[in-house]
């Protein structure tokens, strides 16, 4: 395993944002609130750091775009050495393909005549497309969508490695599907996928490691059985920000890390056996305005459950308020900031940055990421929201 702890962490998270926020005529002052703001330097550092880890560990990265839904970030991940991009849906793949991303894996099995036709249309346009299946019915739908002149589609077998959500549930089923794929000349059996979602967020490092070990063992058993059939998987893809350091040791050849770019608070709380959190810093914030100041000790801001996903820990990193201030949700469009006793609350109209704690669904609430870096403020579209 690469010694990721030896790669230096760039300065304190959000220092650049805090400085910008303090300037009344700064770049952030021109944004309507609520707005999704990314600390560009921290984003770049997170991307660089994970890329360095993958290179040192000799494992490929296929970063998951479900986190960011953003072509500009996907391009930076590819430029840093990623072999391709993972997407959760065909719609995400379509949106990224339209932005020129050329190697895409859809990580969830899907079903339906129309959606397979859309996937095949991407391959016809020259995208190197990989799909995942966990049932023969999906292969029938896929081959039904292909015409003789279509390019060969790479297909992976999705394996249930303990999450109990999608995937084949036995070695025999995996081998059977792989054989079916290999026997179809318009398809290529590309390998295995297994996502141990049940392991990623476990706080206890030993429990997390044990779950990841079990998941890897399932994939290894399926891989060995396939090798015995002359169908050794070319790729074994999976993993996430919670278990990537362990998973790099095998059996994975490709890591689908996603959250590390923004670093969910929940992931920042999980530590390894040495007590160290993952070496990434939070980069995603919601810019908000203080809109009501009539109650002692607290103010109301214009960021609520339509701006901040609430299936994570409560937001705790808040820039622009006295230390010790706490955020709580107060409806779709509002949150309340409690200020510690004696500290001056922010004034009416003041702006604060609330750190997102569950980044994937927070990004999904906005049409744009406003990325602040040395080159200024850029708006990057969020693609393929439902």
Nearer to a second copy among residue 182 and residue 293 (C-beta)? 293
Nearer to a second copy among residue 54 and residue 167 (C-beta)? 167
Cα distance between residue 50 and residue 9, in whole Å? 12
- Least Å distance, CB 349 to a second copy, is 4
Nearer to a second copy among residue 82 and residue 384 (C-beta)? 384
- At 28, give phi and psi (nearest 5°): -70, -20
Cα distance between residue 265 and residue 342, in whole Å? 28
- Least Å distance, CB 224 to a second copy, is 21
Nearer to a second copy among residue 253 and residue 259 (C-beta)? 259
How does strand 60-61 pair with strand 254-255? Answer: parallel
**Binding residues vs a second copy (CB under 8 A):** 30, 32-36, 66, 88-89, 91, 108-112, 114-115, 118, 134-135, 137-138, 141, 160, 164-169, 173, 197, 289-295, 300, 302, 305-307, 310-311, 330-334, 336, 348-349, 360-361, 364-367, 385-386
- Least Å distance, CB 296 to a second copy, is 9
Distance between alpha carbon 32 and the CA centroid of its chain, in Å?
26
Does residue 360 contact residue 27 with C-beta atoms inside 8 Å? no
Contacts of 46 (CB under 8 A, 6+ apart): 260, 261, 262, 263, 280, 281, 283
DSSP summary character for residue 214: H
Does residue 282 contact residue 14 with C-beta atoms inside 8 Å? yes
- Least Å distance, CB 112 to a second copy, is 6
- Least Å distance, CB 96 to a second copy, is 16
Nearer to a second copy among residue 81 and residue 361 (C-beta)? 361
Q: In Å, how far are 158, 214, 221, 248 from 232, measured between CA atoms?
A: 15, 20, 11, 19
Q: In Å, how far are 75, 124, 133, 181 from 138, measured between CA atoms?
A: 30, 19, 6, 11
Give me the helices (H) in 99-204, please: 113-124, 136-145, 171-183, 197-200
- At 157, give phi and psi (nearest 5°): -90, 120
- Least Å distance, CB 275 to a second copy, is 29
Query: If phi over 0 gives left and psi between -120 and 50 gives alpha, with beta otherwise, what is residue 254?
Result: beta
Nearer to a second copy among residue 263 and residue 301 (C-beta)? 301
Chain length of the chain:
386
Nearer to a second copy among residue 125 and residue 164 (C-beta)? 164
Cα distance between residue 222 and residue 228, in whole Å? 10
Cα distance between residue 247 and residue 191, in whole Å? 17
How many Cβ atoms from other residues are within 10 Å of residue 114's Cβ? 10
Quick check: helix, strand or coil at residue 218?
A: helix
- Least Å distance, CB 1 to a second copy, is 27
Does residue 307 contact residue 286 with C-beta atoms inside 8 Å? yes
Nearer to a second copy among residue 225 and residue 330 (C-beta)? 330
- Least Å distance, CB 276 to a second copy, is 27
- Least Å distance, CB 125 to a second copy, is 18
Nearer to a second copy among residue 41 and residue 122 (C-beta)? 122
């Amino acid at each position: 395993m690469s010694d990721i702890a030896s790669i230096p962490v760039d300065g304190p998270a959000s220092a650049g944002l805090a400085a910008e926020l303090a300037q009344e005529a700064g770049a952030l002052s021109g944004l309507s609130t609520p707005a999704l703001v990314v600390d560009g330097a921290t984003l770049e550092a997170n991307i660089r750091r994970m890329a360095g880890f993958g290179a040192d560990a000799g494992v490929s990265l296929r970063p998951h775009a479900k986190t960011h839904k953003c072509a500009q970030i996907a391009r930076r991940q590819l430029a840093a050495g990623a072999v391709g991009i993972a997407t959760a849906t065909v719609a995400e793949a379509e949106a990224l393909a339209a932005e020129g991303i050329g190697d895409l894996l859809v990580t969830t099995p899907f079903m339906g005549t129309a959606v397979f036709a859309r996937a095949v249309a991407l391959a016809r346009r020259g995208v190197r497309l990989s799909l995942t299946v966990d049932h023969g019915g999906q292969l029938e739908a896929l081959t039904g969508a292909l015409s003789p002149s279509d390019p060969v589609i790479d297909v992976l077998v999705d394996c249930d490695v303990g999450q109990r959500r999608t995937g084949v549930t036995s070695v025999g089923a995996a081998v059977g599907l792989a054989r079916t794929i290999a026997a179809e000349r318009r398809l290529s059996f590309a390998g295995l996928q297994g996502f141990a979602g049940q392991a990623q967020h476990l706080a206890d490092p030993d429990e997390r490691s044990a779950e990841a070990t079990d998941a890897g063992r399932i994939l290894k058993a399926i891989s060995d059985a396939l090798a015995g059939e002359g169908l050794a998987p070319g790729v074994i893809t999976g993993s996430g920000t919670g278990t990537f350091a362990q998973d790099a040791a095998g059996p994975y050849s490709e890591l689908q890390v996603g959250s590390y770019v923004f670093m969910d608070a929940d992931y920042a709380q999980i530590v390894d056996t040495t007590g160290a959190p993952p070496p990434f810093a939070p980069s995603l914030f919601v810019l908000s305005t203080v809109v009501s100041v009539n109650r002692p000790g607290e103010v109301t801001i214009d960021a609520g459950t339509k701006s901040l996903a609430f299936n994570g820990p409560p937001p705790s990193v808040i820039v622009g308020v006295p230390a010790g201030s706490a955020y709580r949700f107060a409806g779709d469009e509002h949150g309340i900031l409690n200020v510690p006793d004696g500290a001056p609350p922010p004034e009416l109209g003041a702006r604060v940055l609330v750190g997102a704690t569950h980044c994937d669904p927070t990004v999904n609430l906005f049409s744009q990421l406003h990325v602040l870096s040395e080159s200024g403020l850029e708006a990057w579209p969020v693609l393929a929201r439902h």
